[in-house]
Structures are given as C-alpha cells and as structure tokens.
Amino acid sequence: MTRAKGKGRKRAALPKELRGKGPVPAPTRRDPSGKVHLLVQQDPASGSARVELSAPLFEEPWQNDVASSAASTAYLALNAGVDVERVVALTRHTMDLASKLADGLIDRAANGSVACQPGCDHCCHQSVGVTPAEAITIIEHVRRTFSDEQRQELAERLQHAHERTRGLTSTQRFSPKHPCPFLDSGRCSIYDVRPLTCRGVNSLDADECRRELRDAKTRAAFLRSGVGGRAFLEPIRATHAVSAGVQLGLSELFGLDMQPLDLTAAAHALLNGGESIPDEWIAGHTPLEAARGGECVEDATSRALRGARS
Ligand code: SF4
C-alpha cells in the first residue's frame, strides 16, 4: 500500500480516534474490468481532500452523494496508516452513520407504516452479506464484550449454522430452519455492530413477513416471484450507498480485499482459531476467501432494491 506524504491538510470532522496526520494514497486498485470508481480531489488552496465517484453507481443522485461521502470518510480515516484498530474504528463509525441515516428516514415514513418492532426476527432467517471489515469488527466486539459462556454459546450456534448452510443458495437459506447464528432468544446479540445491510432492512407488513418465512406455500410463492417484501426502500438504499462507498474506499485506495462474505462462514472462521486473520487481511491477503459464497451474489431484484445502476 502506498501512502503519499504532505502536511497541513484540513480534514472533515471525524471522531478523534479516526483522525490521522498525513495525506493519502492515490487510487491503486482497479476492479476486474479495469475500472477505477473513485477520484481523489485535492483543493490546492486549502489542501483539503475529498473523494468523488468517477461515474454514478446508483440511479438516485443522493445515493451517489452518500457513497462518495462514505468513501471520503474512509480515505481521511486511514490516511495516517492502515491497521486493524483504525479499520475497526472506521467500520464502527460507518455503522453508526448508516443507522442514523436509515433511522432518520424511517422516522419520516408515514406514521406507523414501518411495522418492525423489537423481538420481530423474521428477516433474520436468510444469508447475510458482510465485508471483511465488518466481519472483523463484529468478532472484535464479541471477543471484547461477550462473557466466556456467551462466546461458547455463539461458537456452538456458528458451528451448527455453518455445517447446515455451507453450499446452500440464498433461496435455500431463506427458511425458519436457518436462523442467523447471532440471534439469541429472538434478539440480535450484536445489535451495536450488526452488519450494514441489517440496518436498513424494514417491512411495511410484519404479518406478511411471518407468512413469507414460516408458511411453506407462501414462502415458495414468494421466492418464485423474485420480488422482495413490501418495504420502505430509502433506508435500504441509504445503507447500500454507505456500504458501497466504504467498500470502494478500502479496496481502491488502500488495497484491501472488500469482496462480500457470508456472515456465518466469516464469523465461524474468525472465531475458530482465526486470530491471525485480521493482520493477514490488513497485509493485503485474502484469508477469508473461503467465506465468499454464492449466497452473496446479487440478483436483478436486489440490485433494483438498492437502486443500483445496471
Ligand atoms: S446480524 Fe443481527 S440483525 Fe442481522 S440477521 Fe443476524 S440477528 Fe438479524
């Protein structure tokens, strides 16, 4: 990873633990088709830097603004050096921002139209995609905050879920038989560090969610239709935009592997003897490659849901 040098640059407001000292590397990594999605713009007068998209990623202009702002945050946060601690702090900051954005949008929905309530866990029975940065942040949180007993219980749930879901498609994973291993008595046990994708998910009809998951005939018809449940789309699109900006920032500007992983497989690897994985990943390797799964591949419906340009 290259790190450019310089001094006296102004920075956007970032939490103290994310503030760095020096300026930043130029884009270094292209996607498989050879494209560079981010452009680093330096203001010669002020010396401040920001990251812009080389071309829109989303149909909605506000999503592109959110994505470039998230990429700028990543750029400014890691410009003094890339290490696990900084990436975890950045990821937690990004998770908080995504929640503020999504919750603010949900608050603006017509009164009572969003049906989600604490303890309602129908949407937690499917494959969940995370980046390596999110998976590492989640397991760092588990190691730091869970008791030995809680960690042991989680390890058992992860082992069980990993054995039962390995190799299944996302359609097969959408089932009451496959609860997310982080569900504990109907609640998310990692709520503060839950994946970005979980933060925007919402529903306009909780009973519809229940039937689509738990009634076999309704579930089969729902999966055949290829159309998502009725939801308020803006929070979903907001979290996807944040995620896209951070993914591009860390991969293009800092050379980190940010390809989506399956949450269960990645957490299982990290919690079971994976202490060296975060450092290997920071060094530019792909130690979580085996946790990439077909279940993370997007279909046309999910692309449309998140407002992506095709
Ligand atoms: S991580 Fe938490 S919110 Fe996301 S699917 Fe699992 S239990 Fe649900």
For 148-190, give the secondary structure using H, E and C. HHHHHHHHHHHHHHHHHHCCCCHHHHCCCCCCCCCEECCEECC
Find the 274 Cα to ligand 1 centroid distance in Å.
21
Residue 198 alpha carbon, nearest atom of ligand 1: 4
What is the CA(82)–ligand 1 centre distance, in A? Answer: 28
129 alpha carbon to ligand 1 midpoint, in Å? 11
Q: What is the pTM of this model?
A: 0.87
Whole-number average pLDDT of the chain:
87
Report whether residue 183 contacts ligand 1, using a CB cutoff of 6 Å: yes
Higher pLDDT, 163 or 24: 163
Quote the percentage of the chain above a pLDDT of 70. Answer: 84
- Cα 130 from chain centroid? 5
Mutate which of 120, 124, 127, 173 to test ligand 1's pocket (most atoms within 8 Å of Cβ)?
124
**How big is the CA angle at 167 (ends 164 and 173), to the nearest 5 degrees?**
60
Q: Indicate whether residue 116 lines ligand 1 (CB < 6 A).
A: no
Please give the helix or strand (H or E) that residue 281 lies within, else none: helix 277-282
Task: Indicate whether residue 158 lines ligand 1 (CB < 6 A).
Answer: no
Which backbone phi and psi does 188 adopt, to 5 degrees? -75, 120
Least confident of 170-174, 209-213, 294-298: 294-298
Mean predicted confidence (pLDDT) in 7-34:
50
Measured from the CA of 138, which atom of ligand 1 is nearest?
1
Those residues with Cβ within 8 angstroms of residue 295's Cβ, 6 or more apart along the chain or in another chain: 127, 129, 168, 169, 170, 173, 262
Q: What is d(CA 34, CA 15) in angstroms, rounded to the nearest whole number?
A: 34
Residue 198 Cα to ligand 1 midpoint, Å, equals: 6
Q: 30 alpha carbon to ligand 1 midpoint, in Å? A: 32
CB of 36 closer than 6 angstroms to any ligand 1 atom: no
User: What is the per-residue pLDDT for 75?
Assistant: 95
> How far apart are alpha carbons 232 and 114 in whole angstroms?
7
Pocket test for ligand 1, best of 162, 187, 188 (most atoms within 8 A of CB): 188
pLDDT over threshold 90, residue 228? no
